Amino acid sequence: MKKFTIAGVILAGALLLGSCATSKTAESGAEPDTSLKIGSAGCTTVAYKLPSVVESGTVVKVDISGKNTGKTGFRSWLIDDNQTTNSNQYTTSLFNSFKDLGGTMGSGPFSFSYELTSTAPSTNLFLKAPSWNTKIQEIEIDAVSVTINGTTTTFVPSDGVTGD
């Protein structure tokens, strides 16, 4: 079993949803819904463990899609296990004041593809609200993948480690 640390908490296994997010369980005989659903109460952060340490200078291509019904959007960057920022940021929000760093997210389906360049050894893809002291709200993440050195890893969205 792999163990890793985020914000001083040792995590083992894959699925650790904080109280801020849900994942729908499958009805009998149906495929499980693996999307990550963040409601109006919101989550401060969502982290996805990268398949291996990403060294400084490495470009990580991120593809993320889902549905937005809120007004906050999110920022994204690479971090280490201590939540140290280790890359450029990609920002998306309904009222994006960082248009040079990302895209505007409207209500409805979204799909973003962007690159993050690691500036130090990085272990996690990190999502956070678009501004300090706010939360990611009313969003459903249906697909998340990263491509590192030509190899694509697809995450189960509901396996994201969330922070309230």
Average pLDDT over residues 89-103: 59
Average pLDDT over residues 71-98: 82
Contacts of 79 (CB under 8 A, 6+ apart): 47, 85, 86, 122, 123, 124, 126
Q: How confident is the model at residue 26 (pLDDT cuts 50, 70, 90)?
A: very low
Is the pLDDT at 142 greater than 90, yes or no? yes
What does CATH list as the number for 35-158?
2.60.120
pLDDT for 72 equals 78
> Would you list the domain boundaries of the chain?
35-158
CA distances from 42 to 54, 105, 128 (A): 29, 17, 11
Mean residue pLDDT across the chain: 80
Rounded Cα distance, 112 and 29, in Å:
32
CA 3, distance to chain mean position in Å, is 19
pLDDT tens, 34-67? 899 988 888 899 999 999 999 999 999 999 999 9
Most trustworthy range by pLDDT among 31-35, 53-57, 94-98: 53-57
